[in-house]
Amino acid sequence: MLGLRFTNFDPNEGSQDKFQQLLNLFLQLLTYTNGDFSEAMDWMNQLDRQYGLTNDEYGMGDFIDELKEKGYIDENPVNGSIKITGKTEQGIRKSSLEEIFGKLKKTKQGNHNTFKPGQGDELNAETRPFIFGDMMEQIDFTESIRNAQINHGIDSFRMQEDDLLIRETDYKSQTSTVLMIDISHSMILYGEDRITPAKKVAMALSELITTKYPKDTLDIVVFGNDAWPIEIKDLPYLQVGPYHTNTVAGLELAMDILRRRKNQNKQIFMITDGKPTCLKIGKRYYKNSFGLDRKVVNRCINLAAQCKKLKIPITTFMIASDPYLQRFVQEFTEMNQGKAFFASLDKLGAFIFKDFESGKRKTVF
């Protein structure tokens, strides 16, 4: 038996190379610049001058060349313009996932697994005897042949119904999710950049759902004065517009999408600063940015109740700390019996989690 083996400590062993270090920073900056390569590189050069990110052996030009070689950027041969590729877009989402959820405690909440055996997606270690009605693809032929050899011997090998064993599978429920993102002007109001944290949470959620639960469906809806669907690849480029917050339009579109989904389990994730300010009545927009307008709020509360009747829980990610906005989110969430996460702008890794079904309050890291 070998004992412990000691070697000299090397501080550089296991550390990221220069390209990976710069790439991590580059992906972060792309989130803040809405996917603009030129602006992100301007920031990179400024940070390089201030903090010495590069050296004589590896310069910023080497970094750009490596980005091209590895497929992170694409240069237009006609005008020389450079754009990020789908590989970079996915890298931004993965980076957001690691940042937002990397430090969360492991929990069973949100897991799709159930304790019911049956015709599911994943095999488990349990087997049982064959019974009439079992499907051929459920038979574990390796164990069944072994069983037949034990029961009848190798010389007179034969297989009977009593020799067949069925491999149990774990059923994994499938969920249809609509992710709503607030892109109203209030998301950058008073000098607070709320849209960047919102995009990070959105990209983290989308990457989590598409990678861990690939059989689920995910639709993304943005809402300002109106609401419209976008694709996952559009998330890094999202920008705030000169819009009010028509939360009602976003919820109505989300509900309409989920009605067409065949999965039994459905849910809505809503990322917002929590203040609805707009309604569309016919062709006219009813707007009020001062305080919480009960005419607008009541429509939101009514939709939360409708979602509850349809068994569609709403999880709200609140990117604001104003007490009166949090009170609205509390009222909205209680009506739906959903969940709410209140996230500070400087520490998205920790949410104050409210579970209105159990009435418990705890902090999730």
Question: Looking at residue 344, what is its pLDDT?
Answer: 63
Per-residue pLDDT in tens (0 to 9) along the chain, 365 residues:
445 455 554 444 445 689 999 999 999 999 899 999 999 999 999 999 999 999 989 999 999 999 999 999 999 888 888 999 999 998 998 888 787 666 554 444 444 444 334 444 445 556 788 877 777 777 888 888 888 888 887 777 788 788 888 876 655 568 899 999 999 998 887 777 888 888 888 888 888 888 878 888 899 999 999 999 999 999 999 999 999 999 999 999 999 999 999 888 899 999 888 789 999 999 999 999 888 899 999 999 999 999 999 999 998 888 777 788 888 888 999 999 998 887 665 554 444 333 333 333 333 33
Question: Looking at residue 125, what is its pLDDT?
Answer: 58
Among residues 206, 198, 193, 203, the alpha carbon closest in space to that of 181 is found at 198
**How many C-beta atoms surround the C-beta of residue 336 within 10 A?**
24
Phi/psi of residue 64, nearest 5 degrees: -65, -40
Question: Looking at residue 273, what is its pLDDT?
Answer: 82
Say if residues 178 and 265 touch (Cβ distance below 8 Å): no
CA 302 from chain centre, in angstroms, equals 27
Say if residues 209 and 301 touch (Cβ distance below 8 Å): no
Give domain limits for the chain: 18-84, 114-172, 175-364
Give the whole-angstrom CA distance, residue 257 versus residue 268.
11
Question: Looking at residue 62, what is its pLDDT?
Answer: 94
Question: Looking at residue 102, what is its pLDDT?
Answer: 60
Say if residues 349 and 104 touch (Cβ distance below 8 Å): yes
Say whether pTM exceeds 0.75: no
- What would you report as the CA-atom Rg of the chain, rounded to the nearest whole angstrom? 26
Say if residues 348 and 339 touch (Cβ distance below 8 Å): no
Question: Looking at residue 302, what is its pLDDT?
Answer: 97
**How many C-beta atoms surround the C-beta of residue 151 within 10 A?**
13
According to CATH, the topology of domain 175-364 is Rossmann fold (3.40.50)
The DSSP symbol for 358 reads T
Question: Looking at residue 8, what is its pLDDT?
Answer: 54
**What's the first-to-final CA gap in the chain, in angstroms?**
41
Tokens in use for 187?
């998301």
Question: Looking at residue 48, what is its pLDDT?
Answer: 92
Question: Looking at residue 181, what is its pLDDT?
Answer: 93
Question: Looking at residue 195, what is its pLDDT?
Answer: 87
The DSSP symbol for 16 reads P
Pairing mode, if any, of strands 217-223 and 175-182? parallel
Give the whole-angstrom CA distance, residue 177 versus residue 265.
9
Give the whole-angstrom CA distance, residue 330 versus residue 333.
5
Give the whole-angstrom CA distance, residue 332 versus residue 315.
10
